[in-house]
Chains A and B, each alone.
Chain A
Amino acid sequence: MTNITPFQLFYRAAQARTYPRIAWMYRHKTWIFQETLLPILSVSALAFVYEWMQAPREYVGMVILGAAMTAFWMNVLWSMGGQLYWERDSGNLELYIMSPAPMMSILTGMALGGMLMTLVRAIAIVSAGMILFNVEFAPTSWWLLALVFALTMTALYGLGAMFSSLFLLWGREAWHTVNLLQEPVYLATGMNFPLVALERVLHWFIPAVALFIPLTAGMDALRQVLFRTPGFIPLEWEIGLLAALSAIFLFFAKRTLAMLERKAKEQGTITVKWK
C-alpha cells in the first residue's frame, strides 16, 4: 500500500469533486444557452429600467455587475448549500462520510468546480452587457479588483460550505430556505442599486447588518473600484471585512462539517433519504 500524505488525499478528493462539474460543461451543452443567454434577458430588462429612468450609465453597469455576482450567489446556494442534501438523496453522502477523504476536500472540490462554471457565466454576462449597453468597466486598479474579487469568492464559498452542513441538518426545509435566501438577499445586498440608497430610503442599520453577507461588502467594494461611486463604508474597511469574513466562515464550515460527520456516525439518521 503506497503512503499518501494528507495533502495528497485532500488534493485528490477535491480534484475528484471538481471533475464532474467540469465534465458536465462538456457533456450538457444546454448550459451555453441556460447560463449565458438567459441571464442576459433579465440583465437587459433591469438595464432598460435605468435607461427608461435616465439614470447615468454606471447604474446600468451596476445591473450588469449585479447579474454576474448573482450567478455566484446562486451557485453558492444551490451547488454548495443544497448539494449535500441532494447527495444524501442520491446515496453519495454516506460514501463521502465513510471515505478517508476529509469532508472539507469534498466541499473544496465542489466550490472550485462551481466557481469555474459560474465564472464562465459571469464573463458572458459582463461581456454581453458591455457590448449591448456600451458600458465601460475601468477599475481604479486591476490588482485591487483581483484582490476584492478573490476575497469575496473566498468568503462567499466559505459561507456556502457552512450552509451545506446546516441545510442538511434542516431537512426538507432546506430547499425552501435556499429559495428564501434569494430575493431578500438581493434586496439587502444592493444587487442592482448602490447600497447607500438603502440607507437613504430605509435605515443605515439594514445595510450595516447586510455587510456581514460577503456579497454585500464584495459588491459595494467592486462598485467603488469599477465605477468610482461612493460606497457605504470606505474601500479599505470593506477589504478588511471580507478578509475577516473569509476566515470566520471557513472556520465555521470546518466545525459544522466535523459536527455533521460525528452526528452521521453516532445517530445514523442523517443519511436517511427524504428526511
Chain B
Amino acid sequence: MTLSEPFRTLKWATWLGWQIESNWADVRLFLLYMVLKPVSGSMMLVMMFYAAKYITNGRVPTEFLPYIYVSSACYGIVGRVMFGLSNVVISDRENYRMLKYIFISPAQFQAYFLGRGLAQAAEGVLGAVITISVGLLIPDVRRSVNYGAFDLGWLIVFLSIGSVMLWACGMILASAMLNMSRSGTFLSEGIAGVVYFLSGVVFPITVLPSWLQPVGLSLPTTYWLEGMRRSITGPAPEGSPLSKSPLASWSNAELAGMLAITTAVLVVVSQLFYRRSVLRAWRRGKIEEATGM
C-alpha cells in the first residue's frame, strides 16, 4: 500500500458521495432543494419565536432569535454528517449492494467512509451558509446580529475541530450499523435527537432541569455549538438571560480546548470501535447481508 492510496480512495469517495447527493436532479432543482430544506427548518423556529412574542406582548428578548436561528443552521451539519455516515452503510449495503466490493477492493475502507462523510459535510456547510444568509433578510435577525463580533479565525478553528468531532461520531454510528439491520437507523436518529435536546441547539442548557445540565455539558456538540454561535454572532449581551449560561464565562480558547479534548477522546473511541465492528461484521458475513425491512 502506497501513501497515496488512502488519499485516492478519499478523493473518489468524496466525488461519489457528492454525485449521489446531487445528480438525482438538474442543477436548479438541486439548488432549490439545498435552499428550501434547511431554511424551512430554521424558519419554523423563527415562526415559533414570533408566535411567542405576539402572545406575550413582545416580552421575548430579541437576542433569542439569532441564537435559535444560527444554532439550528449549524445543527444541520451535525445531522447531515452523523446521520449521513450511518446511512451510507445502509444504502451501499442494501440498495446498491456494493459495500462488499468496496471492502474487498484495494480501496481503504475507512477512507471511503471519510470521503462519503466529507461530501455530506460539504452539503451541510453549504446548507448552513445558505440558511444564515437567508436569515439576514429577516429584519429582527439582521438588527440583532453583532457584525463587529464576527470572528473568522475562531470560526475556522471551531469548524475544523468540529469536523473531526462529527466525523468521529459518524464513524461510531456507521461502525454500529455494520452489524445492524436496516431498522437500526433508529440509533442515529436517537443520537441526533439527544444532541438536539441536550446541546443547547434551540434553547440554552440552563433551561434544562438541573440534573440534565451536566449531561448536556458532557457532550462535545454543546461546546461546538457555543463556539460556532460566538464566532458568528458574538457573545450574549450583558444582562440578557443568555448570559446566564454556564458557558457564557468561558473564553473562546477554553471552549476550543474542551472541544479538542472531547474530540480526541471520541476519535480514539471511534477507531477502536470501528476496528472491532469491521472484524465482527466480516466474520459474521454482515458486510454483504441484505436485511430488508
Contact = CB atoms under 8 A, between A and B. Distances in A.
Contacts of B33: 176, 179-180
Contact of B52 (A48, A53, A180, A187): A53
Most chain A CB neighbours (cut-off 10 Å) among B54, B201, B292: B54
B161 interface: no
Interface string A76-115: 0000000000000110000000000000000000000000
A183 B41 contact: yes
B56 interface: yes
Contacts of A201: 46-47, 50
A193 to B, nearest CB: 4
B208 A48 contact: yes
Contact of B45 (A49, A51, A54, A180): A49
Contacts of A172: 24
A52 B68 CA distance: 12
Nearest to B48: A193
Given A30-B186, A54-B60, A184-B37, 9 more contacts: A28-B183, A34-B186, A41-B190, A41-B194, A41-B196, A49-B203, A193-B48, A197-B51, A201-B47
Given A48-B203, A48-B208, A183-B37, A200 B50 contact: yes
Contact of A42 (B46, B60, B193, B208): B193
6 contacts: A34-B183, A49-B45, A50-B48, A52-B203, A53-B64, A59-B55
A173 B186 contact: no
Interface in B54-113: 54-56, 59-60, 64, 68, 95
Which secondary structure dominates where chain A touches chain B?
helix
Contacts, number: 121
A34 B68 CA distance: 26
A30 B185 CA distance: 10
Nearest to B32: A180
A50 B33 CA distance: 29
B278 interface: no
Given A33-B190, A38-B193, A180-B37, A49 B202 contact: yes
B201 A197 contact: no
B36 interface: yes
B43 A187 contact: yes
A176 B24 contact: yes
Contact of B60 (A38, A53, A173): A53
